[in-house]
A and B are shown apart, each in its own frame.
Chain A
Amino acid sequence: MKTLLSLIIMAIGLAALAASAPPPAAAETDRPAVPARLAPRSLLLDGALAGSRLVAVGERGHILLSDDDGATWRQAAVPVRATLTGVAFADARNGWAVGHDAVILRTRDGGETWTLQYQDPDGEAPLLDVLFLDAERGFATGAYGLFLTTADGGATWHPEPPAEEDLHLNGIDGAAALLLVAGESGTLMRSEDAGATWQQRETPYQGSFFGVLVLSPSEALAYGIQGRLYRSADGGRSWTRIETGTTAGLTGARRLPDGTVAVVGLSGTLLTSRDGGRSFALTRLEDRPALSGILPAGDRALILLGDQGIRRVDAPAAPK
């Protein structure tokens, strides 16, 4: 329903845009990102590891790098100013970042420099997440069912609508043996053949999922609005709800080097599990930032990404 509404609004909007024809805005994709003092405190939406290097992406084409477990950060040169929503690395050198205006950026040097591989500002559909199985095979998911795949490291991208409905595909995670895509209105799709074929499973929840975290070829977590968190032990065929104690939307998840599973969300929500996601402890950051991503920072700390930028917090102590 909401998607339909969005589409109608979009259609009318486009018509109006064509009719009134305001002077064309300088496309965000035409302008390189500007180095900024406060970039580490800007809206940051996703993070990834390039070997031991931490990489965080966010608004205004900000890509930040840290080689010391998040103690210090520097800003990479980025050819676009679009808001970047997702980042993934196939190995320590090869990585991709996606974002609004459907931009796809590529790095071959561990995030130091980036080139623009793909963009579609007029499509008005942002890309929301990205995943690479290796340096060749990758997926980018986005709004209104946008789903792009590549088999050549992003040199060419192919739209591949995997579902009939144009729902937002908010997140993708996994490996060749199990890939999961999470999206709007309970969308949960799975693939066991490295993305060649996809099945939509019966969803445990009609609300939206913001992302998935694949822990093993059989175990996975799906998380979304209203503090909803589901766990599957059978490769995403069936899901059971996990109590989180919060109604804040959950926006990002990661398994840390010590096996702890962390999930973050709006209103400063941080959930941690030391039993593979079967149960979670809830912490709330005092000033309630909207969180969106997680990176590990050595043994004892976490880097949380969100609307206040980079936040370093101590890892919650192990329950006795």
Chain B
Amino acid sequence: MPATLIHRVEAWVFGHRALVLAAFAVATLALALAASQLKVAAGFEKQLPVEHPYMQTFLEYQEQFGGANRVLIAIEARRGDIFTPAFFNVLKKVTDEVFFLPGVDRARVTSLFTPNVRFIEIVEDGFAGGNVIPADFRPTREGLDQVRENILKSGQMGRLVSQDFRAAIVSANLLDRDPRTGERLDYMAVAKRLETEVRARYESEAFGVHVIGFAKVIGDVADGAAGVVGFFGVAVLLTALLVWSYAHSVVLSAMLVGCSLVAVVWQLGLLVMLGYGIDPMSLLLPFLIFAIAVSHGVQMVNGVGAEMYEGAGAMEAARSSFRKLLVPGVTALSTDVAGFLTIMLIEIPIIQELAVSASVGVAVIILTNLFLLPVLLSYAKLGERHRDRLRRSTAHRLRLWETMAAAARPAVAVPILVATVALGAWAWHEGRGMAVGDMEAGVPELWPDSRYNRDTAFIVERFAIGVDLIQVIAEVPANGCIRHDVVSYLDDFDWFMRNVPGVQSTLSLPTVMKTVNAGWNEGSPKWRVLPRDERVLVRAVTPVETSTGLLNADCSVMPVLIFTEDHKAETIRRVTEAVGAFAAANPSADVRLRLATGNVGVMAATNEAVDAAQMPMLLWVYGVVVALCLLTFRSVYATLCTVLPLTLVSLLCNALMAQLGIGLKVSTLPVAALGVGIGVDYGIYIFSRLQVHLQTGEPLPLAYLRTLRETGSAVIFTGITLAVGVSTWLFSALKFQADMGLLLTFMFLVNMVGAVLVLPALAAVLAPVFGAGRNRKGHAQE
């Protein structure tokens, strides 16, 4: 930005202070009104990597064969087994309750009481079938015994009834849009009803109610997220205290915190105007925006404070700081925006919304903290007491700056860099152990010991069915299920997949057809084969209804259900690779195996999307940071000194994730971009001052000492402020928020250390290479 333009802007802004303040006040009021309309939104489809080929399959078939959006309710008999009148009464009521949940695909509700649960029995003249719970069921001893036998014949052991007969399941699929009204399903409402109408009503000493499914996750996540709102207050309070201890002035602190809160209000208001809701992930943005706003504002407060300490008036000090900080401020915030925007490379709507709303938030800070704040500061009046306090703390810090400035002497710089490189090498080595996806059982958003994950553990333990399902959709010619070659192919595929380590069990039409074929042969297991004869195949498939979810009406689509033992990234990769390997080894003109539906299918696509986005995202964010640094400093030397420390921190972050078992996934991937985008701010603030001093011909150590005096405390303060803001997430009820908080805290602090220690060391070591520090004709920025 040319110096004349800055002067003109400065003149206008400070010439119309009242107008500026009035404009901000009006805008803030309007946006606050908009922000009050903010709704919590959490759609299922928003979390899907929509561009991934698996998701095309998913969207195409989710209504027919159920997507990943299942709700399972396990009723547990805490005393004795399920064969009591009371248990069947509860099971029936829960089944009815589920049937009337909003968004439920009623045809696919499954429990012992639903008509789609049938058994097949071998009798003397063929085989007969019926509902597991007959129409004339009475909960008498005889009736219950009959049901027990029917369950055994139905093959539902382990599926709808636990292996030990002590629990039974009601299963339902939810549709993202209500099939009756066409409206988007309110998952929070479903979760609430599950809690109030099912759990609260039927859980007792005698019966346990265990509820799992995406809708419940959303509910629990929203509940947990609500707790985070409280943390916002804590973060603001802590930050205000920090600001006060730094600025030694209530007035300055209030102005800074106020401006930063204005930024948050604007961000939330703009979110509503963009048509976005807030979800558990973007709930963390206000923290981040607030922390970034404070940390940038502090540069302004610092500048104004320093000028006034030197004896300047408030107006003069504000204007001078505005001039000095406009360029580095805009640059730093632009890199933040760019960092956020690179997150859009991840083709998952919820992430892309996060990228947009974060970018908007940071862009807002440019207005609030680079314009509003200096204008406010120009009204500030600081007394003599403030000056005294400032003097004492400045003197106190001087020794610290002198010690730190040694980093710019070659004798100290070399050891620092050697240590840095060693650390980087270690981090690179460790970081390769970082996994993509989830590392733990249960729902990763929630803590392992949360009620939800304990319910999951209960169901996995008692039932043979996993809660982790990937469905491969086989597309075949119409009536494919009466072609021996087609069903044999699928049978081979089913068996192949069952043998893949990590697969718990499989289910597909051919398996059922073999059992039916045996049924037609008096139940003899020796006839559990797929007959070659088309007519005999017809006989084997006829009793299998489409409601089983194993075939469509004209038998041209048959899913193969693959239940996995867990949803660790490695397991998922092994399964998807096995599918590809089978298809490659058994090319077929008639059978097309398509990945994938089921929750694990979604995870597979998400993992692949995240993995694929990681490298481009980092390249882009670094590319943008490098470009902006080059633009600002017009110096390769400066750019290298600023950016290289960031790469160390990126490596360390990966190492930390590997060490702590945090996988690279939707919630942690943006952290890498945020860490770099925000982390570069420190370097920009430091180097922009350093450059000015170097250009006056000062030797590097002295120039750096001056830089530290001017901006060192602001940089350190910035790091601490950012870290405080995000570290409150560590106490979140949601594990992914805690993970994000941990990683961001780490990146903010280590980036700050990198900027004050590694940056000057690099500057010292690289100076001879670039002839820097001797070049007095460099480009002045002011």
Name A residues whose Cβ lies closer than 8 Å to a Cβ of B. Answer: 2, 9-10, 12-14, 16-17, 20, 22-26, 28, 36-38, 42-43, 45, 59-60, 83, 85, 100, 121, 124, 126, 128, 168, 170, 207-208, 210, 225-226, 249, 251, 266-267, 287-288, 290-292, 306-307
A-B contact pairs, 16 of them (CB 8 A): A9-B533, A9-B536, A9-B539, A14-B533, A17-B533, A20-B534, A42-B495, A124-B532, A225-B122, A225-B522, A225-B523, A251-B524, A267-B152, A267-B153, A288-B157, A292-B525
A residues less than 8 Å from B528 (CB atoms): 43, 59, 83, 307
Which of B9-17, B101-109, B483-491 lies on the face that meets chain A? Answer: B483-491
- Chain B nearest CB from A291 CB (Å) reads 8
A22's closest neighbor in chain B, by CB? B483
Cβ A60 vs Cβ B495 within 8 A: yes
Q: A16-B534, A121-B532 are in contact. Are A249 and B526 (CB under 8 A)?
A: no
Q: Are A43 and B124 in contact (CB under 8 A)?
A: no
Is B531 in contact with chain A by the CB < 8 A criterion? Answer: yes
In angstroms, Cα B534 to Cα A170, docked, is 24
Please provide the chain B residues from 36 to 80 with a CB less than 8 Å away from any CB of chain A in the complex: none
Residue in B484, B534, B589 whose Cβ sees the most chain A Cβ within 10 Å: B534
Query: CB-CB < 8 A to B153: which residues of A?
Result: 267
Quick one: which of A14, A23, A225, A288 contacts B485, CB cutoff 8 A?
A23
Residues of B with C-beta under 8 A to A2: 125-126
Quick check: B499 and A38 within 8 Å, CB to CB?
yes
0/1 string, B207-223, CB within 8 A of A gives 1? 00000000000000000
Contact A25 B484, CB 8 Å, known A17-B533, A290-B525: yes
CB distance from B487 to the nearest CB of A (A): 10
Q: Most A CB atoms within 10 A — which of B485, B524, B526?
A: B526
Residue of B nearest to A123 (CB): B532
How many angstroms from the CA of A25 to the CA of B123 in the assembled complex? 33
Contacts A124-B531, A288-B152 supplied; 8 other A-B pairs, CB < 8 Å: A13-B534, A13-B535, A16-B535, A59-B529, A60-B495, A121-B532, A126-B526, A249-B524
Chain A residues, CB < 8 A from B589? 23
Bound: A17/B535 CA distance, A: 9
CB-CB under 8 A from B157, the residues of chain A are: 287-288
Q: Mark B114-130, 1 if CB is under 8 A from A, else 0.
A: 00000000111110000
Interface residue count for B (Cβ, 8 Å)? Answer: 35
Using Cβ atoms and an 8 Å threshold, which residues of chain B touch A37?
499, 501
Please, which residues of chain A bring their CB within 8 A of the CB of B531? Answer: 124
Across-interface contacts of B534 in A (CB, < 8 A)? 13, 16-17, 20
Q: How far is the CA of A100 from the CA of B153 in the complex (A)?
A: 26
A9 touches B525 (CB 8 A): no
Q: Which residue of A lies closest to B124 (CB)?
A: A207
Nearest-neighbour CB distance to chain B for A210, whole angstroms, equals 6
Residues from chain A with a CB closer than 8 A to the CB of B523 are 225, 249, 266, 290
Q: Which residues does chain A contribute within 8 Å of B522, judged by CB atoms?
A: 208, 210, 225, 249
B526 with A25: CB separation less than 8 A: no
Q: Which residues of B contact A28 (CB under 8 A)?
A: 488
Check B525 against A225 for contact (C-beta < 8 Å).
no
Decide yes or no whether B498 CB sits under 8 A from chain A: yes
A306 in contact with B524 given A13-B533, A124-B531 (CB within 8 Å) = no
B536 touches A13 (CB 8 A): yes
Report whether A124 and B533 are in contact in the complex, using a CB–CB cutoff of 8 Å. Answer: yes
Bitwise, B125-169 to A at CB < 8 A (1) or not (0) is 110000000000000000000000000110001000001000000
Q: Are B536 and A10 in contact (CB under 8 A)?
A: yes
Residue of A nearest to B533 (CB): A13
Write the nearest CB–CB distance from B595 to chain A, whole angstroms.
22
In the assembled complex, the CB of A292 is this many whole angstroms from the nearest CB of chain B, namely 5
In angstroms, Cα B529 to Cα A307, docked, is 12
Which chain B residues (480-528) contact chain A, with CB distance < 8 Å? Answer: 483-485, 488, 495, 498-499, 501, 521-528
A-binding residues in B (CB < 8 A): 122-126, 152-153, 157, 163, 483-485, 488, 495, 498-499, 501, 521-529, 531-536, 539, 589-590
| Residues on the B chain within 8 Å of A208, using CB | 522
* Shortest Cβ gap from B132 to chain A (Å): 14
CA distance A10 to B526 in the complex (A): 18
Q: Are B533 and A10 neighbours in the complex by a CB distance under 8 Å?
A: yes
Could you tell me if B533 and A225 are in contact, using CB atoms closer than 8 angstroms?
A: no
Nearest residue, chain B, Cβ from A10: B533
Query: In the assembled complex, which residues on chain A have CB atoms less than 8 Å from the CB atom of B123?
Result: 226
Report whether A36 and B484 are in contact in the complex, using a CB–CB cutoff of 8 Å: no
Given A36-B499, A170-B524, A287-B157, answer yes or no on A126-B529 (Cβ-Cβ < 8 Å).
Answer: yes
Q: How far is the CB of B485 from chain A (nearest CB, A)?
A: 4
A283 to chain B, nearest CB (A): 15
Q: Give min CB distance, B76 to chain A, whole Å.
A: 19
Measured between C-beta atoms, what is the minimum distance from B149 to chain A in Å? 9
A6: nearest residue on chain B (CB-CB)?
B536
Residues on B with C-beta less than 8 A from A266 are 122, 523, 525
Verify A307–B539 contact, CB threshold 8 A. no
Residue among B126, B483, B523 facing the most chain A CB atoms (10 A cut-off): B523
Residues of chain B with a CB closer than 8 A to A307's CB: 525, 528
Determine whether the beta carbon of A25 is less than 8 Å from that of B485: yes
**B536 CB to nearest chain A CB (Å):** 6
Chain A residues positioned under 8 Å from B499 (CB to CB): 36-38
Is the CB–CB distance between B124 and A226 below 8 Å?
Answer: yes
In the bound complex, CA of A17 to CA of B501 (Å) = 38
Among the listed B122, B488, B498, B526, which residue makes an inter-chain contact with A128, where contact means beta carbons less than 8 Å apart?
B526
Q: Give CA–CA (A290, B528) in the complex, Å.
A: 11
Q: Which residues of B contact A22 (CB under 8 A)?
A: 483, 485
- For B484, the chain A residues whose CB sits under 8 A away are 25
**With contact pairs A36-B495, A288-B157 given, residues A10 and B535 touching in the complex (Cβ less than 8 Å):** yes
Q: Is there an interface contact between B485 and A85, defined as CB atoms closer than 8 Å?
A: no
Most buried by A among B524, B525, B527: B525
With both beta carbons as reference points, the residue of chain A lying nearest to B165 in the complex is identified as: A286
In the bound assembly, the distance between CA atoms of A158 and B62 in angstroms comes to 55
Contact B163 A287, beta carbon cutoff 8 Å: yes
Contacting pair B122 A249 (CB below 8 A): yes
CB nearest to B477 among chain A residues: A22
Report chain A residues within 8 Å CB of B485: 22-26
CB–CB B124/A25 < 8 A: no
Nearest-Cβ distance from residue B567 to partner chain A, whole angstroms: 21
| Cα(A188)–Cα(B122), bound, Å | 22
Give chain A residues whose Cβ lies under 8 Å from the Cβ of B126: 2
How close is B130's CB to chain A, nearest CB, in angstroms? 16
Taking the closest CB of chain A, its distance from the CB of B148, in whole angstroms, is 11
Residues of B within 8 A of A287 (CB): 157, 163
Bound Cα distance A36, B125 (Å): 37
CB distance from A101 to the nearest CB of B (A): 8
Interface hub of B126, B533, B539, B589 (most chain A Cβ within 10 A): B533
Q: In the complex the two chains form, is A85's CB within 8 Å of B536's CB?
A: no
Closest residue on chain B to residue A129 by CB atoms: B526
* Chain A residues, CB < 8 A from B533: 9-10, 13-14, 17, 124
The distance in angstroms between the C-alpha atoms of A59 and B498, with both chains bound, is 14
Report, nearest first, the 8 A-B pairs whose CB atoms are least far apart: A13-B535, A25-B485, A13-B533, A85-B526, A292-B525, A288-B152, A9-B535, A37-B499
Which chain A residue has the least Cβ–Cβ distance from B485? Answer: A25
> In the complex, A248 Cα to B777 Cα: how many Å?
99
Smallest CB separation, B528 vs chain A (Å): 6
Chain B's closest residue to A268 (CB) is B152
Among residues of B, the one whose C-beta sits closest to the C-beta of A27 is B532
For B521, the chain A residues whose CB sits under 8 A away are 168
Which residues of the partner chain A approach B527 to less than 8 Å between Cβ atoms? Answer: 126
A12–B488 alpha-carbon span in the complex (Å)? 21
Residue B525 contacts which of A23, A168, A306 (CB distance < 8 angstroms)? A306
Cα of A26 to Cα of B591 in the assembled complex, Å: 14
User: How distant is A80 from chain B, measured CB to nearest CB, in Å?
Assistant: 13
In the bound assembly, the distance between CA atoms of A20 and B535 in angstroms comes to 12
In the assembled complex, the CB of A217 is this many whole angstroms from the nearest CB of chain B, namely 28
Alpha-carbon separation in the docked complex, A287 to B153 (Å): 11
In contact, A292 and B163 (Cβ under 8 angstroms): no
A83–B536 CB distance below 8 A: no
Closest to A8 in B: B535
